[in-house]
Amino acid sequence: MKLVSKFALGLIVASSFMFVGCYDNASPGQNEVAKPVIDDTEIGLRKTDLFSEQQVKPDETQYSESMAGSGHKFKRAFQDAPPMIPHSVEGMLPVQINNNQCVSCHAPEVASSLGALPYPESHMIDFRPKHKFDGQKFEKSIDNMKNEVSIKKISQLSGSRFNCTLCHAPQSTGELVHNNFDPDFTTKDGAEKSHWTGTNLTDGLDTVKE
Ligand code: HEC
Ligand code: HEC
């Protein structure tokens, strides 16, 4: 009898431990909220409660208001990076087929007299793949085993560079995210000037040169 009651007591104790164990591991019920591991104010760049738009204050976009010619420039981001536009582009955009004001100041014939840097040699090279086109049908001019990019020097701005703002953008001066990148320029004046000669990135590649 004594033995049985001890055994029964043991069962009761064991099952209550099991019960406690289950309760601890159970997923939170409808009214319980799981403790967040990362606070939602830390998830995004906005650093505010994700359920409220009230306190959201994005960093203001501040483009340069200095007129073209006032001499302000930004350092290049890395060697031969496309320079950011340092002057106001008010009234210059969008670039249109009959109205490309960028060219009217940055074309090599006029740029230096206006204190602007001419667009570089690379902008007067056609890198588009070679094709045969008879007005109806495109045909590859070389086989698939070769690098199809060709390098054709042309005497004018390449059509693929006509829309300058595809690559050159005005720089906003806010600091939404701090930039820790420290460029390692390979030329002495790499922070101010491009030294891309148009072919040095493709030298040694199996590329058609014309
Ligand atoms: C009225 C003449 C003029 C027009 C139009 C103009 N620019 Fe400029 N740009 C300049 C001058 C001058 C500079 C040199 C910095 C300065 O003095 O503002 C310059 C600087 C730049 C630079 C920086 C070059 C460097 O060395 O860092 C870029 C990129 C640029 N312009 C792109 C453009 C684009 C793209 C457009 C068209 C949306 C444009 N510019 C329209 C005159 C002009
Ligand atoms: C497809 C992208 C692209 C387009 C479109 C483009 N550029 Fe550039 N640009 C670059 C890159 C990349 C560089 C730096 C490397 C180099 O010299 O090619 C550069 C460099 C420049 C420089 C600096 C030259 C130097 O000597 O440091 C000027 C000025 C410039 N571009 C003006 C323009 C103008 C004006 C237009 C429109 C007519 C234009 N770019 C269109 C990519 C582009």
pLDDT in tens, 20-32: 444 444 455 566 7
**What residue ranges do the domains of the chain occupy?**
36-124+159-203
Q: Hey, whose CA ends up nearest to atom 9 of ligand 2?
A: 82
Q: Hey, whose CA ends up nearest to atom 40 of ligand 2?
A: 164
Q: Which of 79, 80, 84 is nearest to 172 (CA)?
A: 84
Written as one string, the DSSP assignment of the chain is: -HHHHHHHHHHHHHHHHHHHHHHHHSPP-TT--PPPSS-GGGTSTT-S-TT-STT--PPPP-B--PPTTS------SSTTPPPPB-S--TTT-S-BTTB-HHHHHHSTTTGGGGTPPPP-GGGGEE-SPPEEE-SS-EEESS-TTSEEEEEEE-SS--GGGSSGGGT--BPB---SS--------SSTTTTT-----SSTTTTTS-EEE-
Architecture of domain 36-124+159-203 in CATH?
Orthogonal Bundle (1.10)
Q: Hey, whose CA ends up nearest to atom 22 of ligand 2?
A: 119
Nearest ligand to the C-alpha atom of residue 125: 2
Q: Is the pTM of the predicted complex or chain greater than 0.75?
A: yes
Instruction: Kindly state the percentage of the chain with pLDDT values over 90.
Output: 39
Judge whether 125 and 132 are in contact, CB under 8 Å.
Answer: no
The region of weakest confidence among 18-32, 138-152, 190-204 is: 18-32
Written as one string, the DSSP assignment of 58-69 is: PPPP-B--PPTT
What is the whole-number distance in angstroms between the Cα of residue 160 and the centre of ligand 1?
A: 19
Nearest ligand to the C-alpha atom of residue 159: 2
Interval 61-77 mean pLDDT: 90
The region of weakest confidence among 45-49, 92-96, 108-112 is: 45-49
Which protein residues are within 6 Å of ligand 1, measured from CB? 68-73, 83, 85-87, 89, 92-93, 101-102, 104-106, 114-117, 164-165, 168
Select from 65, 76, 87 the residue to mutate for testing ligand 1; criterion: most ligand atoms less than 8 Å from CB: 87
Select from 194, 199, 202 the residue to mutate for testing ligand 2; criterion: most ligand atoms less than 8 Å from CB: 194
Instruction: Give the integer Cα–Cα distance in Å for 30 and 157.
Output: 66
State how beta strands 125-126 and 138-140 pair. Answer: unpaired
What is the whole-number distance in angstroms between the Cα of residue 121 and the centre of ligand 2?
A: 9
Top-confidence residue, 123 or 152: 123
